[in-house]
Amino acid sequence: MNSPIGIIDSGVGGMTVAREVMRQLPKEKIYYLGDTLRCPYGPRPIEEVRTYTWRMIHYFLEKNIKLLVIACNTATAAVLEEAQEKLPIPVVGVIHPGARAAIKNTLNREIGVIGTEGTINSRAYVKALRNIDSEVNVHGLACPEFVPLVESGMIDSHETLQVVYERLAPLSDFPIDTLILGCTHYPILAPVIDKVMGSNVRIISSGAETAREVSTLLYYSNRLYTGSRTPEHRFFTTGSSQIFNRLSNEWFDQSVKHIEHIEL
């Protein structure tokens, strides 16, 4: 099936998921939309998140996508079930794949989750983890400073290390052995987070697991592209295309081209 996979996020963070989808499904064409104008979604009321997410969804439905990935944890918590019920195409979120990966990795059933206020307050990860293992202990922590750090490009600075160290300090009160990065922006900070948490804590990003779920759904719904091609991906942003381009190319594996500014 020649149609593209649509991936939506509140900003550039969802590119961590897009990168994994491209790696695992190199023939598939990806359309990515980051709502950088309104990023971050985490502090916003849930109805605002729903409104902005549905605007992105409708934009991509007009592009005839064959599968939708909601790569924003806050948006996943707000609209995934509704989107899965209403849309005629498969819809994948990032919370359940991340929860499955954490359950596979934990040895002591003590799992930390960091995310935006919206994601942590929704308790979506608590529900997802306990649906798999009712005995797991979940320790959630909102980290509202992290998304602005990523979107500003301040990844390797001493200030970033200090902010991450101070924000994650409360997790040291718990014997967690696994930490879920419950926001797709956070893997960009993974080296800093890993340094702060130490070698005894496994860091879980949902990107790879989400990409595996995309692959499985495409296969079982007969939507996989089976021809021969080097796909041309397209990237859309509601904010500055120049800033989007700079941030993406700083850590993306390949050059990001065809960035288009749109209004929603």
Q: Which of 102, 183, 196, 201 is catalytic?
A: 183
Token pair of 35 as six digits:
């709502």
Side-chain-facing half-sphere of 145: CA atoms under 13 Å:
12
Q: Which of 67, 70, 71, 72 is catalytic?
A: 72
176 closest CA partner among 210, 206, 141: 141
Are 30 and 21 spatial neighbours (Cβ–Cβ below 8 Å)?
Answer: yes
The two tokens of residue 89 are 């195409």
Residue 66's CB: how many other CB atoms inside 10 A? 20
Provide the edge-to-edge strand list for the sheet that holds 178-181: 137-142, 110-115, 178-181, 202-204
Report the residue count for the chain: 264
Q: Check if 143 is active-site.
A: no
Q: Distance (Å, rounded) from C-alpha 159 to C-alpha 69?
A: 32
List residues with catalytic annotation.
72, 183
